[in-house]
Amino acid sequence: MEREQSFIGMIEQSIVRNWNMNALTDYKGATLQYKDVARKIEKFHIVLESAGIRPGDKIAVCGRNSAHWAVTFLGTITYGAVIVPILHEFKADNIHNIVNHSEAKLLFVGDQVWENLNEDMMPELVGIVLMTDFTPVVCRDEHLLDAFEHRNVLYGQRYPRNFRPEHVHYRREQSPEELIIINYTSGTTGYSKGVMLPYRSILSNVNYCFEMRPIHPGDRIVAMLPLGHVFGMTYDFLYGFCAGAHLYFLTRMPSPKIIAQSFADIKPRIISSVPLIVEKIIKKNILPRVDNTIGKLLLHVPIVNDMIKDSARKAAMEIFGGHFNDIIIGGAPFNADVERFLKQIGFPYTIAYGMTECGPIICSSRWQDLKLASCGKAASRMEVRIDSSDPANRAGEIICRGENMMLGYYKNPEATAQIIDANGWLHTGDLGTMDGNGNVTVRGRSKNMLLTSSGQNIYPEEIESKLNNMPYVSESLIVLQKEKLVALIYPDFEDAFAHGLQQSDIEEAMEENCAELNQHLPSYSQITKVKIHFEEFEKTAKKSIKRFIYQEAKG
């Protein structure tokens, strides 16, 4: 089957071909079939048209994953307006700022988000609409209020014999360079920047998903990553919808318990996840079956016999529903030792490396071809280079260019010029190496690299990856204080207390962990001090620790 070369055409094609199939389900809630989505989109268009919204106008959406979030997104882009997805985890002042900066005309919100917002801080909005039932809660234009009140009557007048597949005709993109999405990054400092993604980028990313891991109409996908972030938006939602899949939205935080329950029910065919979720599940549920001394097991990487491998693989597959053919892990660095264990047992995972500015894919490979510790090769339609005189052995900045790339940052040409050079190369800010076969290995963020007084480059992520596997360690940060490496550790208090440890025992265990880890580290990168944190480190929406908070709090 030949695919459409227009992204909006791809959506049209999927709706028509999968008319009577299930499309969007709020887990433990209602299901919309593709024909239901088409009818909701049509009513959405009637409201926009009646309210004087024009193609190219901006419409913001902010809320937890849900079928109506997806309808809002699809209704916006098929009308020709520009969608502005906002992560629901953002604080109210950041949401206000994004709505104003993007010049959004309408804001669609989840009820929980709406409770914390102040409409007076967003004076240019024409209206604010609750996504639960598409009810306007703020209307500053009588045409908008009238459109919402009479949308069903207008719909009935336009389609007196019901809305049918032959009525599905949307405004196609006028050019591959036309703007479709402004996605504000979940950066670790200050206000977010608005990444302008054109139709070209989204079409290229979705086509890449089709090429790499085909799914078929009726296959099930659990959309547990936030749709407001481009990883979940592209891999789960846009690709899944274009492929005719049945998408399930968990509508709440995907804890290991919720994942185990929902995945057993849904049995997804393909899974996208951030590393933190996979690491927690593997470390809590799988590794103890192999060896209770998790840290020692992973540090020494023993040869695991085939029977144990098979048992561990089977258990890991079952936790994620047992029906999937690939877990795509991205958004943050994956724990190197957990990855090595998964590789040993033949677990089907792959790493997707990318960034919002590429919508998101830069590198990835099929799990069967993935080189250990790498993020695979450059995606099709993308070029990737390492800015180094010896890319295989000396880390340099990862730079890329190609069809996936953004147009630039919205209303911020200075920031655009800082990241895209005169030759069109996008500078990722990540350090990496590339072997002779094109496999890219990310070493860490260039701004995170620590330079000692002796001139040694230290990548803190590599040390943290090992430390996080030691007994009773939940998460850690390695920082440089007074030319000494200090480990900031948030212990797994629940696990420690369950094993009878007291506060003083936990502190002693952390010191022992670092002493053991130091035996495996070169002298210049050994930990000299441990500081216990009693709360989780603050994170971005994609679960990356906001390093700058703790690096600035030195001393």
State the amino acid at position 265 in one-letter form: D
Identify the H or E element spanning 241: helix 239-242
Peptide bond into 176 cis (omega under 30): no
Query: Which one is predicted more confidently, 443 or 70?
Result: 70
Three-state secondary-structure class, residue 113: helix
pLDDT band at 454 (very low <50, low <70, confident <90, very high): low
Which residues face 484 on adjacent strands? 481
Of 122, 182, 87, 239, which Cα lies nearest the Cα of 412? 182
139 - beta bridge partners?
127
Q: On the CB side of 173, how many CA atoms lie within 13 Å of its CA? A: 24
Q: Reply yes or no on whether the pLDDT at 64 is more than 70.
A: yes
What is the per-residue pLDDT across 270-312, written as a single tens digit (0 to 9) for each?
999 988 889 889 888 887 776 655 544 544 445 557 777 888 8
Q: Is the pLDDT of residue 554 over 60?
A: no
Residue 296 carries which side chain, given as an amino acid letter? K
Nearest to 510 by CA among 549, 474, 483, 544: 474
Return d(Cα 383, Cα 379) in angstroms, integer. Answer: 8
> Would you say the CATH fold of 272-445 matches that of 32-198?
yes
Q: Checking DSSP bridges between strand 473-481 and strand 457-458, what pairing results, if any?
A: unpaired
Residue 541 pLDDT grade (very low, low, confident, very high; cuts 50, 70, 90): low
| CATH label, 460-552, candidates 3.40.50.150, 3.40.50.1360, 3.30.300.30, 3.30.70.1560 | 3.30.300.30
According to DSSP, the β-strands at 349-354 and 426-434 are unpaired
Residue 284 near residue 256 (C-beta atoms within 8 A): yes
Measured CA to CA, the distance from residue 555 to residue 553 in angstroms comes to: 7
Task: For residue 252, name the pLDDT band (cuts at 50, 70, 90).
Answer: confident
Percent of the chain with pLDDT over 90: 75
Beta bridge partners of 398: 386
pLDDT digits (tens, 9 = 90+) for 97-144: 999 999 999 999 999 999 999 999 999 999 999 999 999 999 999 999
* 177 CB neighbour count, 10 Å cutoff: 11
CA-to-CA distance for 371 and 222, rounded, in angstroms?
Answer: 27
Dump pLDDT digits (tens) for 317-345: 999 999 999 999 998 788 888 898 899 88
Mean pLDDT value across residues 14-22:
98
Check if CATH label 3.40.50.980 holds for domain 32-198.
yes
Task: Round to whole Å and give the CA distance between 231 and 359.
Answer: 8
Question: How far apart are alpha carbons 28 and 125 in whole angstroms?
Answer: 33
**Given this structure, which CATH class describes domain 272-445?**
alpha beta
- Coil vs helix vs strand at 114: helix
Would you say 125 and 140 are in contact if contact means Cβ atoms under 8 Å apart?
yes
Q: Which of 195-199, 503-507, 539-543 has the lowest mean pLDDT?
A: 539-543
Q: What is the pLDDT of residue 58?
A: 98
Handedness of CA 114, 125, 412, 387 (dihedral sign): positive
By C-alpha distance, which of 217, 317, 226, 230 is closest to 267?
A: 317
Least confidently predicted of 81-85, 146-150, 273-277, 424-428: 273-277
Domain boundaries, the chain: 32-198, 272-445, 460-552
Average pLDDT score over residue span 233-249: 97
Q: Give the model's pLDDT for residue 5.
A: 87
Q: How far is CA 459 from the centre of its chain?
A: 23
The token duo for 417 is 């010029």
Of 226-230, 271-275, 443-447, 503-507, give the lowest mean pLDDT range: 443-447
The predicted structure's pLDDT at residue 552: 52
Mean pLDDT of the chain: 91
Give the sign of the dihedral formed by CA 289, CA 290, CA 293, CA 298: negative
- Give CA–CA dist 66/206, Å, rounded: 21
Q: Is 133 exposed, middle or buried (0-12, 13-18, 19+ CB in 10 A)?
A: exposed
Q: With contact defined as beta carbons under 8 Å apart, do 463 and 525 qualify?
A: yes
Structure tokens at 388: 């180094």
